[in-house]
Amino acid sequence: MEGMFDNDVYEDGDEFRERLFMEEQARLEADEEVLMDDVPPNDSEAMTASCPLCNASLAGITPMQATEHVNACLDGQPIPLPPRQPSVTNSANNSRLSSPMVDAPEVGKRFSKAAVPRPGQDNPISLGNTTAKPTSAFGKLMSGHAEDAAWATAAATENASRGKPAYQRTCPFYKIMPGFFICVDAFRYGAVKGCNAYFLSHFHSDHYVGLSASWSHGPIYCSEVTASLIRNQLRTDAKWVKPIPFDEKIEVPGTEGVFITMIPANHCPGSSLFLFEKSTGKGSNTRTQRILHCGDFRACPAQVSHPLLKPDLVDSVSGKIKQQKIDICYLDTTYLNPRYSFPPQDDVIKACADFCYSLSGDPAAADEAFDSLRREKGSTTVSQFFSKEEKDSEGDIIKTESSTTTTSDPKNRLLVICGTYSIGKERICKAIAKALGSKIYAIPSKIKICQQLGDPELSALMTSNPIEAQVHMQMLMELRAETLQEYLDGYKPHFTRIVGFRPSGWSFRGGGGGTSGAKNVTANVSPSTVPTTQILHGAGWKTRFSSADFMAQRGSTREAMCFGVPYSEHSSFRELTLFVMSLRIEKVVPTVNVGSEPSRKRMKAWIDRWLAERRKGGIVRLLEGEDMTDQDGALRVNDEDSKGGSGAAAVQLWDGKDGKGGGAWW
């Protein structure tokens, strides 16, 4: 998730921003088509801009018409494109003279100007001073003032440049890696002076906006999946696209010795963390500068235990422990807000799959479930409709013979709609499809995208026949109870009921119970009033999710039920806490929700607290096995544990007291 939008202002969060960036990308591609019409025809598909949703050609239409078409697709009600205006060289007969479309020469100037490198914003961050302590309180104060001023300038500049072409935009400092000649997710600013390598963390429009067929400003480094999508969806010339493998250290040309290692981001297919490393000095004075850029990510144990990120290394020869530091971490702060300690993905996936399986297997269960769902959230009445089913070793339902008969009966056939983006949310779709023994329907352009994600299982499940599949992928933006009913009406009598899921972290509305719960915590709570030990160990911050937590959204009926489920591909607040406190990060730079001063101040307060607590109390180390803490975060110790010196009695939780660190369960 990118940029200057404040999630506290926009209720729809990432959905709202996704819409804005897709509209901007559509206008860019429509403008680009004007330029393409002014050059000799080319049979290559790379010369055609298209709608990012339905893949329809945007050639020959105005930017306004392109925006209207993309909006309609986002709303799930695509409209026909207007007829393409013919390109006529004779100005007397040129119909474009009365069109609001910008003339080709003017568009040509835009792209040529975008190719002229423009200086980025002055960077207040220097790798030379990230680890060294300020010489005085005055020096520390002045450094803080410089950063505050840079943030304010970045926000004001971004607001003033909305709607302007790339050559009139200035790349903000937090997209420029200081001293490394590298920009990350900075394609809407044209060529950036001093940048010799452009990195794309993943294929979401708020990160690739500005990247198109006309790109010629420098090499683009990304994962194999992202590279395929850039070439095939955006038609960027393949000579600029440089896919790199995960977990291989590779030198980046033109950066004076910067090496990149790409680490899975656990966000969407192809998403990446970038670890940049550069050695400076000579001989005994050599040190390695290290920058970690998180793009968009969901923090997980595999990341904090990664050999290049984990806080301590054991020397293979001497056996001594060596500290491993990260000078700067550019952090995805989408949910750096204590209101959003939402549950693990696996909880939500399993709950959705189990719920759909139960409704599909018992025609009467849907009516009863609807009646139960109208009650207060957390009622145990919903779970009574889930019988004990055969499950595999991972806990997923194995579809039985009897359920095959039920779900194939059109009189009692359930249709499930999963809200998705261009890519992302595939795991929840797959789990429901496997539980129902069903295919997954999507429009051809979406299937084309899914076939590029490096997931053979997903590719095998996809179909372009909506009647064949009980699971349909649709855009998340406009998925509501009333639109579900309209969708179902279009497919009767093949389906008799419909359930829709809006998977998003914004669906989360409070933590669990316990005296240390996050349920009543607000965005403005002071970090000093919430003990870090509660966030790390308290049950109320380790939220879980099950079928008992479903609550139908307003407008749901017995036939059409819509649910917002807290499935997120971004890190929760607690996961961000664990991530920062489990690594030796010297400085954190937020990359999301940085558009307003109050938002920046709130995030800075939490980040400063985490870093201070880690320096005072030591590194948080992840504990494996069963979580042995109670509702209030204390260890559950029984007599057997205390006698044998094992189990909970042998666990040292992080308490922030002795500087030696301690454990926490993820």
Query: Are 469 and 365 members of one domain?
Result: yes
Question: What separation in angstroms does the CA of 498 have from each of 408, 436, 550, 557?
Answer: 15, 14, 15, 10
Side-chain-side CA neighbours of 34 within 13 Å: the count stands at 24
**Residue 95, pLDDT score:** 35
**Residue 96, pLDDT score:** 33
Query: Are 308 and 353 members of one domain?
Result: no
Quick one: CA torsion of 596, 569, 20, 188, rounded to 10 degrees?
80
Cβ within 8 Å of residue 539, ≥6 positions away: 512, 513, 514, 516, 517, 629, 630, 631, 632, 633
**Residue 233, pLDDT score:** 96
What total of structural domains would you count in the chain? 2
8 part of a folded domain: no
**Residue 46, pLDDT score:** 33
The token duo for 626 is 């069963």
467: containing domain: 345-374+409-508+543-569
CB atoms within 10 A of CB 287: 13
Query: Are 557 and 602 members of one domain?
Result: no
265 part of a folded domain: yes
Closest among 479, 472, 470 to 553, alpha carbons compared:
479
Question: What separation in angstroms does the CA of 484 have from each of 232, 348, 444?
Answer: 31, 21, 21
Q: At 482, which CATH number?
A: 3.40.50.12650
Closest among 633, 536, 522, 519 to 579, alpha carbons compared:
536
45 part of a folded domain: no
Query: Are 564 and 579 members of one domain?
Result: no
SS3 (DSSP) at 261: strand
Query: Are 215 and 293 members of one domain?
Result: yes
Q: How far apart are the C-alpha atoms of 610 and 595, rounded to whole Å?
A: 22
666 part of a folded domain: no
Query: Are 349 and 332 members of one domain?
Result: no
Closest among 254, 261, 204, 255 to 230, alpha carbons compared:
204
285 part of a folded domain: yes
Query: Are 311 and 444 members of one domain?
Result: no
231 part of a folded domain: yes
Cβ within 8 Å of residue 314, ≥6 positions away: 320, 321, 322
Q: At 166, which CATH number?
A: 3.60.15.10
CB 441 within 8 A of CB 473: yes
CA 353 remoteness from chain centre: 22
* Residue numbers of the chain with a pLDDT score lower than 50: 9-11, 34-48, 87-104, 107, 130-132, 374-391, 397-407, 511-516, 639, 642-645
**Residue 318, pLDDT score:** 87
Query: Are 418 and 564 members of one domain?
Result: yes
**Residue 403, pLDDT score:** 36
Q: E strands, 512-605, where?
A: 560-565, 584-590
Q: Facing residues of 189 across strands?
A: none
**Residue 476, pLDDT score:** 84
Query: Are 368 and 461 members of one domain?
Result: yes
Query: Are 367 and 283 members of one domain?
Result: no
pTM of the predicted protein model: 0.82
Cβ within 8 Å of residue 163, ≥6 positions away: none
**Residue 360, pLDDT score:** 83
629-656 residue pLDDT tens: 887 778 876 545 544 445 555 789 999 9
**Residue 376, pLDDT score:** 34
Query: Are 601 and 494 members of one domain?
Result: no
Query: Are 459 and 551 members of one domain?
Result: yes
Question: What separation in angstroms does the CA of 299 have from each of 333, 508, 624?
Answer: 11, 18, 16
588 part of a folded domain: yes
**Residue 111, pLDDT score:** 56
366 part of a folded domain: yes
